[in-house]
Amino acid sequence: MTISDRPLTAMIGLPDGPPDCAAYGRAGGWQAVRRTLRDMTPDAVIDMVTASKLRGRGGAGFGTGQKWSFVPKDPAATRRKYLIANADEMEPGTFKDRMLLEGNPLQLIEGMIIAGYAIQAGHGVIFLRGEYHLALERLNRAIAEARQVGWLGENILGSGFGFEIHVHASGGRYICGEETALLTALEGRRAQPRSKPPFPQVGGLWGAPSVVNNVETLCNLPHIVTNGAEWFVSLGLGPDSGTKLYGVSGRVRRPGAWELPMGTPLREIVEDHAGGMRDGYRLRALLPGGASTAFLDVGQIDIPMDYGAVEKAGSRLGTGLAILLDDRTCPVGMLHNLEHFFAQESCGWCTPCRDGLPWVERLLNAIENGTGEPEDLDRLHDHARMLGPMGRTFCAHAPGAMAPLASGLKLFREDFDAHIRQRACPLRHAA
């Protein structure tokens, strides 16, 4: 692809819609696959991606090249391997992958071919959120065309490497964003996380070595291979490399998502790209990376949006799409809405999550509706303390649910007290 400061979205938003294979090639597409299959070994691809410092864009931020390096390379392990694109974008407030899937599905296909070659997997699966109907249609059309012209199938470009892609539309469970629950669902079973080890890179889909990467992560690969690791590193403004799809939802003038350098200040994203708060509304706090991240106070809006800076501020970068809380929205009601979602989406596998999250939701519901008691706040603090740390539940679902709760109890204590004292939501009562 041509060198650009916004490579992921350079071909999105074209007048005629997503490019077909010919238009994609004229704009620089398929160069990376040609270079990968003709000039590079699988290990060379992994080394390049490692040198680029590409980190997973789905929320965890794990090094992509490092993740691939765990896949066994012995001959016995090359018979059956799988690459899975995690497109089950169900994190509340997150819609970045949808833009990539609908706007340029061939970019994902090219990235998957490169990743498949790197780990020597012959099969790729796109695990797609079931509600993404337009993305499903465009992905299937793009895959069929790529197969017809020879970019998918056996012996691509005469290299001896073959790769096929299938799309699986999810049944609609948030827990499928957890990679082992995703694999279990692909096998036709109830979506529940698995014990680790073995990790998916060793024993994943149907027991075979498998790698699960986020859509945005995979879409970066063609640009890294074409332009080099140093170029990708140079795009970031701080310690993290590349660009990032950032977004904002809430009462701003221009909600949406934008490709910006990794490390772009949060204030710039909110004020310059989202247009600032709408008239009559004032920013109070925000969740920087989706619903399962901790609140940041308005005084922290000048932090750079990279992994280390957001963690130092007390939250996580997550998906990089911020949910804004304004001064006319009840924070207790917002937390109740979030915890209702998390309780509903628990897979039910472990007791703290299955029973604890509904209890949190009921306590918040009582406080929001005027029947809460002062001791309910102690119970909420206890749940945040017991469910929040990693390792006390089977996966990260409950700790993620506790991130906004624990931070919200600190930031909005006066709001909680007012609800209990007035036996009603003060904002609703004032309206």
Q: Which residues pair with 164 in a beta bridge?
A: 123
Helices (H), 369-396: 374-387
The pLDDT assigned to 393 comes to 87
Q: Are 318 and 289 in contact (CB under 8 A)?
A: yes
Q: What is the CATH number of domain 7-235?
A: 3.40.50.11540
Q: What are the start and end residues of each CATH 1.20.1440.230 domain in the chain?
A: 331-422
Q: What are the start and end residues of each CATH 3.10.20.600 domain in the chain?
A: 243-326
Q: Which residues pair with 163 in a beta bridge?
A: 153
Q: What are the start and end residues of each CATH 3.40.50.11540 domain in the chain?
A: 7-235
Q: Are 88 and 177 in contact (CB under 8 A)?
A: yes
How far is it, in rounded angstroms, from Cα 58 to Cα 289? 10
The pLDDT assigned to 4 comes to 77
Q: Which of 285, 246, 294 is nearest to 400 (CA)?
A: 294
How far is it, in rounded angstroms, from Cα 349 to Cα 346? 8
Intra-chain end-to-end CA distance of the chain, in Å: 54
Q: What is the CATH number of domain 331-422?
A: 1.20.1440.230
Q: Are 62 and 56 in contact (CB under 8 A)?
A: yes
Q: List the structure tokens of 65.
A: 């090249």
Q: Which residues pair with 304 in a beta bridge?
A: 265
243-326 fold: Ubiquitin-like (UB roll) (3.10.20)
The pLDDT assigned to 378 comes to 97
How far is it, in rounded angstroms, from Cα 330 to Cα 336? 10
**H-helix or E-strand spanning residue 221:** helix 221-227
Q: Centre a 10 Å sphere on the Cβ of residue 104 and count the other Cβ atoms it contains.
A: 27
Q: Are 179 and 138 in contact (CB under 8 A)?
A: no
User: For the chain, which ranges sit under pLDDT 70?
Assistant: 1-3, 75-79, 429-431
The pLDDT assigned to 389 comes to 85
How far is it, in rounded angstroms, from Cα 291 to Cα 194? 23
* CA distances from residue 360 to 260, 341, 409 in whole angstroms, order as listed: 37, 11, 12
How far is it, in rounded angstroms, from Cα 289 to Cα 364? 23
